[in-house]
Amino acid sequence: MILVTGASGFVGKALCEELMNQNAPVVPVKRFGATIEGITIKEIDGNTDWSDALRECEIVVHLAARVHVRNDYSRDSLSAYRRTNVEGTINLARQAVAAKVRRFIFLSSVKVNGESTAVGHSFRPDDQPMPKDSYGISKMEAEQALRQIAEVTEMEIVIIRSPLVYGPGVMANFGALLCAVRSGWPLPLGSVDNQRSFIALVNLVDFIITCTRHPSAANQTFLISDGKDLSTTELVRGLAQAADIPARLLPLPISLLRLAGRILGKSDSMERLCGNLQIDSSKARTLLEWVPPVSVEQGLRLVLR
């Protein structure tokens, strides 16, 4: 039996559907108010009772988390992230140990490594963590706590750090970019010669399922991506091609884009469009012999469904 937290989310819903397609026994745990079938957990923190959900489960896939909250101007946002992402994860892991769960898979984030990479360099699983925001810090602390639990118990831990995930129904920054491309308006992104790693939802789901089964995944940390990095210019062209519309790109200098970002108070968003963030996912491919089931081009076409 596989327990999946965050089953009503973007990744969780796709994971549960694929597990069910493969006739794997799944216990979906959904957020309060979600319409899918499953066990409802109102709030995830250090006091959540997981006893009903964990009954007869051999594997836990922990996807639920406090993610990036827009307009989060609270004075102590790190405490809010820690309450869900650290205390909630530790509480679930300890109850999983008591329930004799064999393997605990934790979906983390490349933000544990940092926000950007230098030209010609890629993040690796054994790099020194350098998170910059509350979300990344909370994910790092959760990883550290899980490793400590694995050292003193028999439960295996698998940590997966993911970059931006794209697929059908994607929202946030990727969804906004997709809407801009489909609108047909010219975009000033024709000269962005950066490199960024992404992962298609189909590929991430496949890798998580691989980690539920492969013996060599035990107590490992993986960075995962499609394996083909794209510049923002290439990404816009790929989305336009997938949508069967012309890519309308204006070659505005990067310096002007960054200046506009500062003026509009969108420096972070502009840096994600212009900066580098590359992942070395070779460990997943060599240790687990994992091959992404879809290419970047196929993944972008799936987004349009």
Closest CA to 63 of 113, 102, 104: 104
Whole-number Å distance between alpha carbons of 91 and 84: 10
pLDDT for the residue 73: 47
pLDDT for the residue 35: 67
CB atoms within 10 A of CB 169: 12
DSSP string computed for 162-203: E-EEE-TT--HHHHHHHHHHHHT--BS-TT----B-EEEHHH
Instruction: Calculate the dihedral angle through the C-alpha atoms of 41, 43, 45, 50, rounding to the nearest 10 degrees.
Output: -10
Q: How many whole angstroms from its chain centre is CA 30? A: 18
- Do the Cβ atoms of 92 and 48 come closer than 8 Å? yes
Whole-number Å distance between alpha carbons of 224 and 197: 9
Domain boundaries, the chain: 2-168+198-226+278-294, 172-193+231-274
The yes-or-no answer on residue 81 being catalytic is: no
pLDDT for the residue 30: 86
Which CATH architecture fits 2-168+198-226+278-294?
3-Layer(aba) Sandwich (3.40)
pLDDT of the chain, 305 residues: tens digit per residue: 999 999 999 999 999 999 999 999 999 998 876 767 788 888 999 999 999 999 999 999 999 999 865 555 455 689 999 999 999 999 999 999 999 999 999 999 999 999 999 988 999 999 999 999 999 999 999 999 999 999 999 999 999 999 999 999 888 888 888 888 988 889 999 999 999 999 999 999 999 999 999 999 999 999 999 999 999 999 999 999 998 999 999 999 988 888 989 998 888 888 888 999 999 999 999 999 999 999 999 999 999 87
Q: Which of 73, 81, 135, 166 is catalytic?
A: 135
